[in-house]
Amino acid sequence: MIADMTQLQFTAPGVTLGGVQPLIDGEVPAHEPRELDGDRIVWPLDEGRFVLVIEQGEQLRINFKLEGIRSDRSVNSLGLRFCEVRGVRSYLRNGYQSWDGSYFVAPGTPAGDGPTAKAPTIGFAMTALLPQGESGAVLLGFTRHDRFQSRFCFGGSAEAPSIDIETLRDRVPHHGVVSAEPLVIFSGNEVEETLRAWSRIVAAESPLPPLLPKRRISGWCSWYSLYAAIDEPAILEHLSAAAAFRDTHGVPLDIFQIDDGFTPEMGDWLHVKPQFPRGMEPLLADVAAAGFIPGLWIAPFMVGNRSRLFAEHPDWVVRHRDSTEPLAHMKFYGEFRWHKKSEEYYILDISHPDAEAYIRSVFRTWRYDWGCRYFKTDFMLLGSEYGPDKAQWHQPGLSRINFWRRMASAIREEVGDALLLGCGCPLWASVGLVDGIRIGRDIGVSWAGNYSAESLLRDQLTRNHGSGILWQADPDCILLRERFHELTEEQVHSLALFAGLSGGVIMTSDKLDELPQERAELFASLLREERLSCVFPELGNDQPVVVQLARRENGSSVRNLFNIAASPAAIDGGRELPPHGSWLFVEQPDDPLARWSQPIGSSRTTAPG
């Protein structure tokens, strides 16, 4: 990447970024012509100055800030606008949390009428620009994510796109200087390796080192089999089945996790439903006695309006900025009540000392009294969704990420060395606090739709670069049962291979003594792959066949070709992959996964990886 300081233009093979303007609160402020002072660019403003500092090297490092402004001037955001963007065929719209999606978008794509945070014109943390007629990518990414949220806004037209990059300062008090988070710009020859290079920068500059389990997190979760209809007899029945499966197949199935459905209302985390007459402590002891790590589900930011917690402590929730009403993140006014009584769900105000003491006591009780050693923390996005324009917290003057990190840090402190999975969770602010993170929406029971395989096929590809560097990626549970879903045999097989070869978290929810033999043995084979690293060497090529390369510590690898299209796809040698079909290639006939190296209904085939 080359920076032309006189023209203030950045160039890389196939891509040019120019027309740079300062941004304050999303607008270009009135300013005098810019001044060049060595590696500094200065825009004199009506009040103070906007300063841009560029460090040239293998990666361009850019710092920008406001200087000399009144201390009582609040700043919502600080950024740069690239008005002249040339040579880009698509950009990575990088979502902020587990469920909002990451995918490549053509310049000029309209925002649409969906939620703003999920629009193709809004991204977070970083973007990768794919050049026209060239391989590789140009990456623009922020390096720190523990203080503020940083955002990308893609505008203009297909012929003349523009990019705004901003750090959301959330009106945090200052003393005359307001800084954005550091930014890097660099290019690479391969898309995923370029993304991995950014992940390594984020890991190196995180104030907390990433938490990386020595082997992949594996186990069983109650949600996709039982959903909220759980009780003690059903849990014990599935526990027995999971133990028998583990012992029969001799596989590492480490965790047995009870998901949502055992607490009466969100927020009442120390109470359980009558369906668990002994409470959770004896039940988790049964889980531990069966040789599993006991796990529980919790949504620590969520408070239902009909919870005891809200009835007794209405001052413990975040309020609307312009009213005294609680800020409701979710509303269920109709027939569906999410197996609870509450119509509204509020946000626990972690900045209230008593609220923080309460949630700390919950995690301390679950960890040390109940015996939980795996925590699936869900709906974690609630703590990072709202800035001061909408939310009023007990303690003013903090950024949304300050609030979020206060909760995540408190949880980590209380659970100690227990495993912590973030779900519906900020991906980048979580570095150093979670062991694993969900990278997409709930997998669901169908190939397409809101809760389906679509999210896995999209988000595993574009978020895989952080796995093993920032945290362990969780592609969600593998569906293996024969009934009560809308997937074909081909789709079940292909999705199991795709998720299982990702090298991240591997779990299922199905009753393990009811699986067809073929699927049980496939799951067992994938569980035995305890240490895999996965790459997608052709990421960004817009082809229907996904190439997945899974590497082992011993140097061997397997290559999975996955046709995600609804029509057959041709591959090398004139062969054809069926719709939604996978073909696994192994290096040696005695490879542990050789049995699965064939499309459904075809003869087994091995080939070089």
Q: Which of 246-260, 352-366, 480-494, 562-576 bottoms out in mean pLDDT, i.e. has the lowest?
A: 562-576
7 vs 159, residue with greater confidence: 159
Domain ranges of the chain: 2-205, 218-300+353-531
Q: Give the model's pLDDT for residue 118.
A: 86
| The pTM of the whole model exceeds 0.85 | yes
Query: What CA–CA distances, in Å, run from 271 to 301, 353, 468?
Result: 17, 22, 36
- Contact indicator for 152, 94 with CB cutoff of 8 Å: yes
545 by DSSP, 3-state: which? strand
Q: Give the model's pLDDT for residue 526.
A: 98
Q: Which of 255-264, 396-405, 587-596 bottoms out in mean pLDDT, i.e. has the lowest?
A: 587-596
Q: Give the other-Cβ count within 10 Å of 590's Cβ.
A: 8
- Contact indicator for 222, 339 with CB cutoff of 8 Å: no
Q: What is the mean pLDDT of residues 452-456?
A: 94
454 by DSSP, 3-state: which? helix
> At residue 601, does pLDDT exceed 70?
no
Q: What is the mean pLDDT of residues 352-365?
A: 98
Query: What CA–CA distances, in Å, run from 362 to 305, 316, 426, 479?
Result: 19, 15, 22, 32
Q: Give the model's pLDDT for residue 7.
A: 87
Q: Give the pLDDT confidence of 82-124 residue by residue, as tens digits.
A: 999 999 999 999 999 999 999 999 999 999 988 888 899 999 9
Q: What is the mean pLDDT of residues 165-186?
A: 98
**Exposed, middle or buried by CB within 10 Å (0-12, 13-18, 19+), for 325?**
exposed
Q: Taking Cα atoms as reference points, which of 436, 507, 279 lies closest to residue 372?
A: 279
> At residue 78, does pLDDT exceed 70?
yes
- Tokens representing 93? 């719209």
> At residue 606, does pLDDT exceed 70?
no
Q: Which of 182-196, 285-299, 583-597 bottoms out in mean pLDDT, i.e. has the lowest?
A: 583-597
The fold of 218-300+353-531 is TIM Barrel (3.20.20)
Calculate ∠ Cα 404-472-244, nearest 5°. Answer: 115
Q: Give the model's pLDDT for residue 514.
A: 97
Query: How far apart (Å, rounded) are the C-alpha atoms in residues 414 and 417?
Result: 9
The residues, any chain, with a CB within 8 Å of residue 353's CB and separated by 6 or more, are none
Q: Taking Cα atoms as reference points, which of 118, 117, 120, 101 lies closest to residue 109?
A: 120
> At residue 345, does pLDDT exceed 90?
yes
**pLDDT-above-70 percentage for the chain:** 98
Tell me the helix, strand and coil percentages in the chain, rounded to 5. 25, 30, 45
Q: Give the model's pLDDT for residue 450.
A: 85
Q: Taking Cα atoms as reference points, which of 313, 309, 289 lies closest to residue 300?
A: 309
> At residue 609, does pLDDT exceed 70?
no
Q: Give the model's pLDDT for residue 600.
A: 60
With residue 21 as reference, give the H or E element that holds it: strand 15-24
Confidence band of 3 (pLDDT split at 50, 70, 90): confident
Residue ranges in 315-433 assigned as alpha helix (H): 353-364, 400-415
121 by DSSP, 3-state: which? coil
> At residue 41, does pLDDT exceed 60?
yes
Q: Taking Cα atoms as reference points, which of 469, 447, 451, 460 lies closest to residue 498?
A: 460
What's the alpha-carbon Rg for the chain, to the nearest Å? 25
Largest CA distance in the chain: 75
> At residue 604, does pLDDT exceed 50?
no
Query: What CA–CA distances, in Å, run from 346 to 64, 299, 303, 319, 411?
Result: 36, 11, 5, 9, 19
Q: Give the pLDDT confidence of 235-292 residue by residue, as tens digits.
A: 999 999 999 999 999 999 999 999 999 999 999 999 999 999 999 999 999 999 999 9
Q: What is the mean pLDDT of residues 414-440?
A: 98
Calculate ∠ Cα 351-352-355, nearest 5°. Answer: 110
Average pLDDT over the chain, rounded to an integer: 95
172 CA to centre of own chain:
26
Q: Give the model's pLDDT for residue 117.
A: 81
**Exposed, middle or buried by CB within 10 Å (0-12, 13-18, 19+), for 67?**
middle
**pLDDT-above-90 percentage for the chain:** 90
Query: How far apart (Å, rounded) are the C-alpha atoms in residues 507 and 522?
Result: 13
**What type of residue is 109?**
T
Residue ranges in 315-415 assigned as alpha helix (H): 353-364, 400-415
> At residue 608, does pLDDT exceed 50?
no
Location of structure tokens 């203080």: 147
Would the CA dihedral through 381, 383, 384, 386 be positive or negative?
positive
Query: How far apart (Å, rounded) are the C-alpha atoms in residues 231 and 280?
Result: 11
Confidence band of 374 (pLDDT split at 50, 70, 90): very high
Q: Give the model's pLDDT for residue 382.
A: 97
Q: What is the mean pLDDT of residues 533-547?
A: 94
Q: What residues does 319 pair with on adjacent strands?
A: 326, 392
Q: Give the other-Cβ count within 10 Å of 160's Cβ.
A: 14
Confidence band of 58 (pLDDT split at 50, 70, 90): confident
In the CATH scheme, what architecture does the domain 2-205 have? Distorted Sandwich (2.70)
Confidence band of 338 (pLDDT split at 50, 70, 90): confident
Query: What CA–CA distances, in Å, run from 350 to 202, 310, 410, 432?
Result: 26, 14, 9, 19
